[in-house]
Amino acid sequence: MTEKPFRIDIPQSALDDLAARLDRVRWPDELPGAGWDYGIPLARVRELAGRWRDGYDWRAQEALLNSFPQFTDEIDGQTVHYLHVRSPRADALPLVVTHGWPGSVVEFLDVIGPLSRDFHLVIPSIPGFGFSGRTAERGWDVARVARAWAELMRRLGYERYGAQGGDFGSAISQQLAAAAPDQVVGVHLNYLPTLPPSDGIAGLSEEDQRRLAHTKAYAANRPGYQVLHMTTPQTIAYALTDSPVGQLAWIAERFAKWTDPESRIPDDRLLTDVMLYWLTGTAGSAARLAKESTYVAQAGRPCPAPVGVAVFAHDITLSVRAVAEQRFDIRHWSEFDRGGHFAAMEVPDLFVEDVRKFFSTLA
């Protein structure tokens, strides 16, 4: 197909509006010595908002994003924005890489160069996120997104390709393998929750038992943001769409909670991720993905492709191989003592090497 080039060009009026809103923030109070006990601390949000208002350069970040080839297409009635970076190797394996929430294509900026030496990269924005724009009807769950990816790859002329994802991107990548089993040669995941099977499993180590207990507790006591996204995303959308600091705190808290304490994601990179939600007004439609997708990943068709898993020590939950092997054809398993939920941003070197290693075993 003939791709439709896309270039980010945010009107100055939108940036002026953001600055004006940041100038008149109505700050909440905070209990003395509260720390993180009640949510993201006031001092941290003030710090980020101050940088956002004075010092952060959107135009520089816009130019960085525009340095990668970007395109849009319409699939299933929805705009799909994607980066398409071809490898200098003509025989390179195409690889579709999918972000999650509260991520975006910004997650992968540090790995595009290294990965493109070995892969033709297709990095889409999930419908409802960023420059794919808001979804306009019910039913955009992870399975439907996966079918859109299959159609996108078909239109790009890729008949054999891999998939990679974390967070929602993990579920979408699994569903992509189910939707296009003859095309997807393998699925690499850097997030794979493993719940203990109802009939138990023998021979688990103490560490595996600890992981399963943690995952079970997390599933039974989901964080507040997730409950809202899964039940009343429209309600929280009003606050996130109207208040830049509300959107900032909502996302920054997840980055703080889900990353390795030793990770050093630059504040400007975090702010660029926030900007993709703010400038496109997609806080609400991005949140809807959780409500639309409840139970889809579990109830959907199993992933038929070979699977590689990278477990990063500070992720939300840590996978247990013996449990994963009951559902997946595990061909590759790595455990890392650093990195967290946003592995491509936190430890790009480890992320790139593990993706390469897994797909090299399938050649």
Q: Domain containing 123 — which CATH number?
A: 3.40.50.1820
- pLDDT tens digits, residue range 145-159? 999 999 999 999 999
Q: Strand order in 161-165's β-sheet?
A: 4-5, 70-75, 78-85, 119-124, 93-98, 161-165, 184-189, 306-314, 329-340
Terminal CA-CA length for the chain: 27
Is residue 28 included in any domain, yes or no?
A: no
- pLDDT tens digits, residue range 169-202? 999 999 999 999 999 999 999 999 998 777 678 8
Say whether pLDDT at 296 is over 70.
Answer: no
Give 301's pLDDT tier (boundaries 50, 70, 90): low
Cα-Cα-Cα-Cα dihedral sign, residues 130, 132, 137, 140: negative
- pLDDT tens digits, residue range 25-57? 999 999 999 999 999 999 999 999 999 999 999
Is residue 26 included in any domain, yes or no?
A: no
For 263-332, the DSSP string reads: ----HHHHHHHHHHHHTTT-HHHHHHHHHHHTTHHHHSPPP-SEEEEEEEEESSS---HHHHTTTSEEEE
According to the model, what pLDDT value does residue 201 have? 82
According to the model, what pLDDT value does residue 116 have? 98
Is residue 224 included in any domain, yes or no?
A: yes
Please state the pTM of the whole predicted model: 0.96
Give 302's pLDDT tier (boundaries 50, 70, 90): confident
Is residue 108 included in any domain, yes or no?
A: yes
Which of 22-26, 213-217, 308-312 shows the lowest per-residue confidence on average (mean pLDDT)?
A: 213-217
Say whether pLDDT at 299 is over 80.
Answer: no
Which of 79-88, 246-255, 299-308 shows the lowest per-residue confidence on average (mean pLDDT)?
A: 299-308
Q: 277: domain range?
A: 4-20+39-360
User: How far apart, in whole angstroms, are the C-alpha atoms of residue 165 and residue 97?
Assistant: 6
Query: Per this entry, what is the length of the chain?
Result: 363
- pLDDT tens digits, residue range 84-111? 999 999 999 999 999 999 999 999 999 9
According to the model, what pLDDT value does residue 207 have? 95
Q: Where are the beta strands (DSSP E) in the chain?
A: 4-5, 70-75, 78-85, 93-98, 119-124, 161-165, 184-189, 306-314, 329-340
Is residue 324 included in any domain, yes or no?
A: yes
CA distances from 74 to 9, 71, 130, 151 (A): 20, 11, 15, 10
Q: What is the mean pLDDT of residues 335-354?
A: 98
According to the model, what pLDDT value does residue 35 have? 97
According to the model, what pLDDT value does residue 295 have? 57
Do residues 309 and 324 lie in contact, with contact meaning Cβ atoms separated by under 8 Å?
Answer: yes
Say whether pLDDT at 343 is over 90.
Answer: yes
Of the candidates 159, 64, 80, 91, the residue with the CA atom closest to the CA atom of residue 124: 80
Tally of domains within the chain: 1
- List all residues 6 or more positions away from 16 whose beta carbon is below 8 Å from its beta carbon: none
Is residue 25 included in any domain, yes or no?
A: no
Q: What is the mean pLDDT of residues 201-227?
A: 92
CB atoms within 10 A of CB 47: 13
Token code pair at residue 102: 């509260």
Buried b (16+ CB within 10 A) or exposed e, 173-203: bbbbbbbbeebbbbbbbbbbbbebeeeeeee
